[in-house]
Structure 1
Amino acid sequence: MILFTLLALFFAAIVLWKRARRPLAVCTVALFWLLAAGWLTAPLLHLAQPRWQTDTPARFAPRTAIIMLGGGTTYDDHTLVPPRDVIARISASAENYAACKRAAAICRVIVSGGNPQRHLATEADTYLPYLLREQVPRADIVLENSSLTTYENARNVSAILDGSRYDSLILVTSAYQMPRALLDFHRFGLAPQPMISNARRARLGVLPRYDNLVSAEIALHELIGIAQFHVYRAIGWF
């Protein structure tokens, strides 16, 4: 949506500003080629997902909660399924759950994700069968299926945790979402351990690639979200 809006703005400028049509058209083509070929997408991803220490094992305590953030749903032959990045989050959450059970008395997986895309089911409900297949028992899964944004993920999970005596919190999500997620969780007085499930990489070349445009859209979304968080905090909305 961000890239589409940007393209629409360039198109409107080209239509309205007749004397500058040619340079504007050249700038538009150059910008989107740089994004699609990865040369501009790579630095955007570098800004959105700092280098996280991915080889540091999680620290489990007697009562541990693993918080997995949603990342949308998609249709595969009319069946609602998790996207690729979410599959990585599910696998990382299940691996941490298995390790937690070997070290702690109580382990819970809190899956946070509502239905911002207005599909047939919420994110949390869609991800549940995949966690069950990864040998996470239903009794240890808590579904939070009403949040529509990362901020609401943090707010609603905070409400679930209120009154629960967890000694350790582990936050599982993709590298690009982690900086904003930590800001939101800190806003509600929570300091979970960051656990990166996956990171995006730009594929540099000459030919445009759709995946690079998707990654650029994600990076811009996160960077704008971080800026929005700080603006809202400054004016007292958060």
Structure 2
Amino acid sequence: MESRRESENKKLKRSEILEKQKAIDQSIKAASAQTDQLASFPPFRCFNRNGLCVRLESGRGDKLSPYMKQCIQSLLKANMEGPYGSEWAAEEKVKRREMVAPEARYIFVHSNANEMKLDDASSPSPLLGFVHYRFTMEEEIPVLYLYEIQLDSSVQGKGLGKFLMHLIELIARKNHMGALVLTVQKANSLAMKFYMSKLRFVISSISPSRVNPLAGVENNYEILCKSFDPEAKAILEESG
């Protein structure tokens, strides 16, 4: 029979698990409730390097204008139709749904207003790139999940991508997320090299190739992560 002490220990453990879960839910809710993550990082509102001058602003999926939706779709198609190949038609439909989800959070990259002509001031500022991210949970760990980082070809190769990834990492850490997680197509070798060599991401323990190496070969993507604390590292990087 189970002793009284064992019963009490089980109740205490269940209570601790519930408290931990509640704390995680609250941290995700608090992070998602912030309307402008850039407010905490004023130096990141502008990028002015290597002959490129752009400004950044925050956004959310359920507040996108028709113009912004169109811009996002155009950038996605220009950058991702190639890597996805024949799967793009189906994937594009998925991305259209993800794009406008209430939990979707954005960093938009616009042409610097100061560079625009005065007679163009009333026109929408061109979208030169965007980051789509969400605060969520993976394996009971609060994470910032990077859904998309897309840049127009005219602003690539100037350090903007690395700048945006640094910003996203800062946002994750500030909001007490345990890790930064993203999905990348295996066919996108440049992106794989960028994340793993330059930014020190690793293939996560939840990636198909690590969950089941034999079945994982059939999947065309990897899940990468960058952990910020020992618990996240143990579960999302070293587990299994």
Taking structure 2 as the reference length, the TM-score comes to: 0.26
Higher relative contact order (CA 8 A, sep 6+): 1
TM-score by length of 1: 0.26
